[in-house]
Structures are given as C-alpha cells and as structure tokens.
Amino acid sequence: MYQLFYPKRDTTLYEQYKTKNTGIDPILELTKIASGSPANGIIALNTYNTRILIDFGDQITTISASVSSGDIGANSKFYLNLRAIDSADIPITYSLEAYAVSQSWVNGTGNEADIPITTNGASWQYRTSEAVGTEWLTSGYANGSTGSSGVTTVGGGTWYTGSGASQSFNYQTPDIRMDVTNIVREWISGSFVNNGFIIKRPVAEESSADPYGSLKFFGKDTHTIYVPRLEAAWDNTNLSGTASFTEISSDTYVLNFKNIRNEYQADGRAKFRVAVRPEYPTKAYVTSSWYLTDNRLPTSSFYSIKDTVTNETIIPYDTDATRISCDSNGNYIDLRLNAFQPDRYYKFALKVERDGGNEIQIHDDGFYFKVAK
C-alpha cells in the first residue's frame, strides 16, 4: 500500500546571499557554484553552496496517528521525492544527504528574482527574518545536533546528526527518491521535534574548492504535477484466497479490470478487481465468462501507476508495497485515492514475474481512471 503526503512549506538557503528568502519560489536549488573577481590580473574564486528546507508540517502528525491506529503499517518505509527540472555541470558521481532540521523556521514570501531581495523568512543567516536574535545557531548546538560545517559563511540551518539519510547518483537522472525512514521514525517516536528536512551535499563536497554544478527541483509552489512528496509504503498484501484459484499457466493471457470506473473521488478508497484468462482458451461449452473462472495471477505480480499525460510514475513497482492481493473473489488492488493530484487521469501497469524473476511480463494496456475533486 502507498500513501502520499505533500509539503506545507519549502525554501532554498543561499550562502552567497545570506539574508535572501525564497519561500514561495516554485524552484528549489541545490548548487555549488564558483564566483570571483579579478585581483592583480588573477581571478580569485569563491565557492558558494545552497541548501533546501522542506517541511511536511501536520502531515507528520497524521502519519504518526495513522501508524498508532494501524491505518498505516508499522513496518512502513518512507521516501522523500523531488523531481529535477534542470541540472548543469554536475559530476558523474555524487551524493546528497538529508537530515531533520533542529530549529524552527519561517517560510517567508520571497522569490529568487526579487529586487530588492525579500528577507521576511528563512535564509542562510536567519531562521525567521532579518532580525537580531533569529539567526541560525553557529555554535552551542543542542544535544545531538550541528550546523555550518563545511562552508565559508556560517549559518545555513542546523540539523540532528543521529538519523541522516543519503542517496548516491552514478550516471543517472538527478531526481531524488531518498529513503528517509529513520528520520520519520524519530519524528513519530517524539525523539526529534518536526521542523522538516534539510537537503544538502556532504561536507567534503560543500567544503571543497571545486564547484559541483547546479541542481534545480520543482518546489511546493510549482504549478505542475511535480510537487515534492513523502511516500509511505508498506506491505498490506492479502493472499488468503490463493488456494481457491489456479495460477494462470499460459504464457499468453488476457488481463481485465472487472469493476474499473471512469472516475473516482479524491477522498475515497477503491478496490480494483483484476481478472485473468488464457488468451486462447480451450474450446469448451461454458455458461459464464472465462473471466469468472478460477484463474489467478502468480503471487509475484505487482502494480504501478502513472500519470497518463506526463507518463510520470506516481507509484512505482515495489516487491512489498504494490504486490497484487488475492482473496476469495480473486485478485485485487487496494488503492487510497487521496494520494493523487485531483482532476487528472492515471493508468495502471502490471508486472508479472515467474521463475524467480527471470521471466517478466509487463501489461500496460490502457487501464485508465480519473481522480476528481
């Protein structure tokens, strides 16, 4: 099962412009740039970092309550997702890190292009606004937290060191899908106060004299479907009915969603029934549809969901969280529709694995549905 959550606020902290706030800018930046000026005929370069703050606010309270009630699995994994809009001059191999922010901050109403700059929210130097007493700590950190390390200009947030997360990139898209399970569990347990995530480069890269290029991501205020999100994924598979059905043995078979509707409400929950039959059934006299016979998919069958316009994967294949269930009525997919952006069309893709995953079949045959407000 998947449940998606969306941020309440986000902003970029710019080391080069230490009082600048960009709390409502549609773009989040993670850059390491070089800037300099001529001195005695020599260009003296300084490098500047940016960091990202992103907070899911009371969504974390909702997650905590849902875990306590059993509505979200206690074994859930949590993934932080940011979709890249642009990248330039980045190395082939690099890493990004995320930590739990250890001080409160204010989002602000600034944009990156504001002239003069907006200073009424979080910036590299300040947590709330450009005022004495609201600076980020640069020493005397709370127990288990730190900040400022690896940069020329002190500031840039503070964070708990105990439960960090990271993602490595090697010849791949710069989209972030980072396992932040340990951080979310610290929030759920009450060990950390929830002030959101800080996303940054490792200390070795931030402190290096070398530039590491620019990464730009869609933020909360983007007017696209690429809003950052936090995924909760857990195994709620029900295979209680497998013994009542015969696993489809033919390599050529037809899948059908028996009860799929054109439209679903965004605050609802739906159980999509999946039927399967041989593509070329043995000729026989029958009094009901082949889809009503006792065939089922292998237990190693999974689903994924994509946006039909952009082909963006909203829910990826997952060997635990998207396994197709089977009860006494056959195969089904249980879906929480409040995970989706409303007034958009989506489609299922099904993956069937056999022989320990050595044989894989993908079915992407136009199983469409719309989520409405």
> Which pLDDT does position 192 carry in this prediction?
94
Domain definitions of the chain by residue range: 2-233, 242-372
> Which pLDDT does position 22 carry in this prediction?
98
Q: What is the pTM of this model?
A: 0.91
> Which pLDDT does position 42 carry in this prediction?
46
> Which pLDDT does position 153 carry in this prediction?
85
> Which pLDDT does position 282 carry in this prediction?
66
> Which pLDDT does position 84 carry in this prediction?
97
Per-residue pLDDT for the chain (373 aa), expressed as one digit of tens each? 999 999 999 999 999 999 999 999 999 999 988 765 444 444 446 778 999 999 999 999 999 999 999 999 999 999 999 999 999 999 999 999 999 999 999 999 999 999 999 999 999 999 999 988 999 999 999 899 999 877 778 899 999 998 899 999 998 899 999 999 999 999 999 999 999 999 999 998 888 888 889 999 999 999 999 999 999 999 999 999 999 999 988 778 889 898 899 899 998 899 999 999 888 766 666 666 555 567 899 999 999 999 999 999 999 999 999 999 999 999 999 999 988 999 999 999 999 998 888 899 999 887 999 999 8
> Which pLDDT does position 36 carry in this prediction?
56
- Domain 242-372: top CATH class: mainly beta
Task: Return the HEC string of the chain.
Answer: CEEEECCCEEEEEECCCCCCCCCCCCEEEEEEEEEEEEECCEEEEEEEEEEEEEECCHHHHHHHHHHHHCCCCCCCEEEEEECEEEEECCCCEEEEEEEEECCCCCCCCCCCCCCCCCCCCCCCCECCCCCCCCECCCCCCCCCEEECCCCCCCCCCEEECCCCEEEEEECCCCCEEEECHHHHHHHHHCCCCCCCEEEECCHHHHHCCCCCEEEEEECCCCCCCCCCEEEEECCCCCCCCHHHCEECCCCCEEEEECCCCCEEECCCEEEEEEEEEECCCCCCCCCCCHHHCCEECCCCEEEEEEECCCCCEEECCCCCCCECEEECCEEEEEEEHHHCCCCEEEEEEEEEEEHHHCEEEEEEEEEEEEEEC
> Which pLDDT does position 284 carry in this prediction?
62
